[in-house]
Amino acid sequence: MGDERYGPAVRFRHAFARVVACIIVVQAVAGIEAQSKGDEDGAETVYTLGPGITPPRVTKQVPPKQSSSRGVRVVGSVTVALVVSSKGLPKDVRVVKGLDKEVDQNTVEAVEQWRFAPAQKDGKPIAVKISLEIEFHDM
C-alpha cells in the first residue's frame, strides 16, 4: 500500500487515521424513542438517534490494541453498541458483531476510554444509544 518505505511510527499513524476515517456512528437499534436508564448521577432518559437529535461527536479516541496473543493481525471490523451519556461518557459498551475474542475485548476496553461531545435535543445534552464500527486494517 506504499507504507513499506516509512518507519513503524508513520505506519501506525496511517493505520490509526484509517481507523478514525472508518468509524461510523449509526443508530444502534430501532424501537422505542426513549427509555429510562440508570446513571451514576441518577436516572437519565436514553434516546434513539432520529429527527431532532444531533448525534454525539468523538472528542477523544483511544485506538484498540490489534495484535492477538497468537501473533496474527486481524483484519475486518468490530461493531459495538453503547450509550453516550449526557456528559459524553460511554456506558454499557458491548460487542454486537465481533472478529476475535481478544480483539473484541480490546475494542470494548478502548471505547470505554473514549469521550464524546454529547448528543443534543433542543440545544440540551442528552444520552443516546449508538453503535460504532471499528475497522482493523493490516499495515
The strand ranges marked E within the chain are 24-27, 34-37, 44-48, 53-54, 57-60, 76-84, 90-97, 115-117, 119-121, 124-136
Amino acid letter for position 71: G
Q: How far apart are CA 58 and CA 60, in angstroms?
A: 6
Indicate the pLDDT class of residue 24, thresholds 50, 70 and 90. very low
The pLDDT tens digits of the residues spanning 80-95 come to 999 999 999 999 999 9
Here the cell at position 121 is 435535543
The pLDDT tens digits of the residues spanning 77-132 come to 999 999 999 999 999 999 999 998 999 999 999 999 999 999 999 999 999 999 99
**Cα–Cα distances in Å, from 71 out to 34, 49, 66, 102, 103?**
43, 39, 10, 12, 12
- Map out the domains of the chain with their CATH numbers: 3-136 (3.30.2420.10)
